[in-house]
Amino acid sequence: MAIWCTDLAIDRWRLAEGLTPEKAARGEGADAAPLALIEDTAHGPRIAAANSAARAAGAMPAMRLADARTLCPALAVRPADAAGDLAFLESLALWAQRWGPWSALDPPDGLLVDVTGVAHLFGGETALIGDAMHLLDKRGLAARAALAPTAGAAWALAHFGAQAAILPPEADPRTHLADLPVAALRLDADVILLLRRLGLKRLGQIQGLTRENLARRFRNTRSAAANPLLRLDQLFGLRPEPLLPVVGVSAPLVQRRLMEPIRHRTLLDQVVADLAADMARLLEGLGQGARRLELGMWKVDGEVLVRRLEMAAASRDPAHVCRLFAARLDDLDAGFGIELVRLRAPWTEPLLLAQADLEAAAESHGTSLAACMDRLTVRLGPDAVRRPVAHASHLPERAQRWQPPLADPPSSQEELRFHHRPMKLLDKPESIAVIYETPDGLPRQFQWRGQLHKVARAEGPERIAPEWWRERSTVRLRDYYRIEDETGRRYWIYRHGVIGDGRGGAPEWFIQGLFA
């Protein structure tokens, strides 16, 4: 069954204005005046949807607002809400599962419901479609519906057939649907235009052509919307058409309404502890663990405070959750008091029941790694707790990247064994003054942070060229030296460029690493 909400955006506006079907019929009250929903485009505001009065006055969708204003100066405008329409359509798709086991979205304003073998539950196909039309009308939605053996045929009938049309399975779809326009094939606008220029206006005309000719003309087999042959096959059920069903997943939610608004931290901590325990029970029943938690606190004066939390591994341990939230509640302003506290888990992952540690000494065994990382991240921020991973680059500072502590490390090639790399790298190479054998000999002594180091032993150079595929052509190469000074301090220094490389003056020296 295909359902097409002909005026979804306008109907949503009507419902938002309180113009329910019981109070005002279509075209009465505020709806009697011409009104358009507009969206902002690069060429100024454009009409996304218009009500019947506006359409009668000449303001059509996809028209510029300025053009429509000249036709209908009394046109009132409201901003369109495409995201809200889609969200509404999603909830409508879930609601439409009352007529069949699953439903799919058909954006921007349609639904497809699989009603295979369920019509007898409603007393036949006519009764089923009648029920659908009645309920949609009761919700204040102008809609057209159609029943057909394939999704494509149902869509075509809903958009271009009679109201509440039914295509019985025994009927021949080729004769039944021959009179529909080619737009019933769900094609892109340019393909429809092309077909019209070819003189093909009805489905019957396309069916008359030989398959080979159509296949030669329309070669795009990846996108069904660009290929009339694919769409025809889908319409007649010769080719499968997978649809993505909508599945409703509700985020686990627990809440406490408080008799007296609370203003003190100790009381709030108690409420949070209770909520965490409730949430743990709820998640345990679902076999899930929370990755993200949202604590919403509704204040008496109507404001909502929200604190979010993300965990490194799925968990439902109430003590752990309380501890993490405790750090986040310090800067809370309760105002006149908090009257409702709600804990939601928008992101959960499967977490099976685990055997609790029955030993009495479990307490002293310490925390798990995930809990430890959570505590550190909550206090220090996600950028402070990281683990280094190797990256494919021969520039020393690019050869290591940082990622969250519990993420899987990417596969990497091992560093060459004969490369000696320092144990620590300075965040930014520091400039040093070096006395060395020009033009490219070993360093003799250098001055760093106000102290003179006499080089006792040195090895090098190890030449590392710039990555020419991502850097400018003027970047200089580096000659790295491993050195040890007279007191045994080992450093990694480099000369930036060589004399006469045509990329700047005398080369500078930098210290980049410290060996153990």
Partner 1 sequence: MTENATIRDPVALTPGLVRGIGATARTPHWQPGLALDCFHAELFAPARDASGAGMALALARDALRIQKSTQGPDRRPFLWVQDKAALRLSGRPYLPGLPADLRHRLIHVAATTPEDALFSLEEGLRCRDLAFVIGELGGNPRALDFTASRRLSLAAEKHGVPLWLVRLDARRDLGAARMRWDVASAPSSRPRWNEHAPGRPTWRADLFRAHTFHPGQWTLRDDDAFLVAEPATSAPDHGDLVHGSGDRSLAAG
Task: Compute the C-alpha angle 507/510/516, nearest 5°.
Answer: 145
Nearer residue to partner 1 within complex by CB, 121 or 406: 406
- Pick one of 86, 135, 340, 426: the residue that binds partner 1 (CB under 8 A): 426
3-state secondary structure of 288: strand
Place of tokens 């663990």: 289
Angle between helix 151-160 and helix 228-235 axes, rounded to 10 deg: 100
Size of the residue set binding partner 1 (CB under 8 A) = 59
d(CA 425, CA 512): 6
> Counting contacts by CB under 8 A, is residue 467 touching partner 1?
no
> Counting contacts by CB under 8 A, is residue 213 touching partner 1?
no
- Pick one of 488, 500, 502, 505: the residue that binds partner 1 (CB under 8 A): 488
Largest distance between two CA atoms of the chain = 99
- Helix or strand (DSSP H, E) at 76: strand 76-79
d(CA 361, CA 67): 79
Find out whether 50 and 58 touch, Cβ atoms under 8 Å: no
> Counting contacts by CB under 8 A, is residue 385 touching partner 1?
yes
What is the chain's alpha carbon radius of gyration, rounded to the nearest angstrom? 35
- Pick one of 263, 292, 490, 496: the residue that binds partner 1 (CB under 8 A): 490
Q: CB of 77: closest distance to partner 1 in angstroms?
A: 51
Find out whether 501 and 477 touch, Cβ atoms under 8 Å: yes
Q: Judged by CB under 8 A, which stretch of 12-20, 148-156, 304-312, 418-426 contacts partner 1?
A: 418-426
Nearer residue to partner 1 within complex by CB, 88 or 492: 492
> Counting contacts by CB under 8 A, is residue 363 touching partner 1?
yes
- Pick one of 98, 281, 419, 454: the residue that binds partner 1 (CB under 8 A): 419
Q: Judged by CB under 8 A, which stretch of 47-55, 111-119, 286-294, 486-494 contacts partner 1?
A: 486-494
d(CA 275, CA 269): 10
Q: Judged by CB under 8 A, which stretch of 9-17, 123-131, 168-176, 415-423 contacts partner 1?
A: 415-423
Nearer residue to partner 1 within complex by CB, 207 or 445: 445
DSSP letter string over 291-336? EEEEEEEEETTS-EEEEEEEEEEEE--HHHHHHHHHHHSTT---TT
- Pick one of 216, 222, 449, 472: the residue that binds partner 1 (CB under 8 A): 449
> Counting contacts by CB under 8 A, is residue 415 touching partner 1?
yes
- Pick one of 30, 57, 389, 475: the residue that binds partner 1 (CB under 8 A): 389
> Counting contacts by CB under 8 A, is residue 513 touching partner 1?
yes
- Pick one of 366, 500, 502, 505: the residue that binds partner 1 (CB under 8 A): 366
- Pick one of 368, 393, 438, 474: the residue that binds partner 1 (CB under 8 A): 368
> Counting contacts by CB under 8 A, is residue 398 touching partner 1?
no
> Counting contacts by CB under 8 A, is residue 432 touching partner 1?
no
Q: Alpha helix (H) ranges present in 108-202?
A: 125-138, 151-160, 173-176, 189-197
Q: CB of 319: closest distance to partner 1 in angstroms?
A: 13
- Pick one of 402, 410, 441, 444: the residue that binds partner 1 (CB under 8 A): 402
Nearer residue to partner 1 within complex by CB, 420 or 470: 420
Nearer residue to partner 1 within complex by CB, 264 or 394: 394
Select from 62, 49, 41, 45 the least CA-distant residue to 12. 49
Select from 398, 395, 431, 390 the least CA-distant residue to 414. 390
3-state secondary structure of 118: coil
> Counting contacts by CB under 8 A, is residue 423 touching partner 1?
yes
Place of tokens 């809903």: 158
Nearer residue to partner 1 within complex by CB, 243 or 456: 456
Q: From residue 68, how far is each of 47, 54, 231, 245 by CA, in Å?
A: 8, 9, 35, 39
> Counting contacts by CB under 8 A, is residue 444 touching partner 1?
no
Nearer residue to partner 1 within complex by CB, 126 or 368: 368
DSSP state of 279: H
Q: Judged by CB under 8 A, which stretch of 41-49, 206-214, 219-227, 488-496 contacts partner 1?
A: 488-496
Select from 286, 260, 283, 282 the least CA-distant residue to 271. 260
d(CA 437, CA 178): 90
Contact residues toward partner 1 (CB under 8 A) are: 360-361, 363-369, 371-373, 375-376, 379-380, 383-390, 396, 399-400, 402, 405, 409, 415, 419, 421-427, 448-449, 451, 456-459, 482-484, 486-491, 513-516
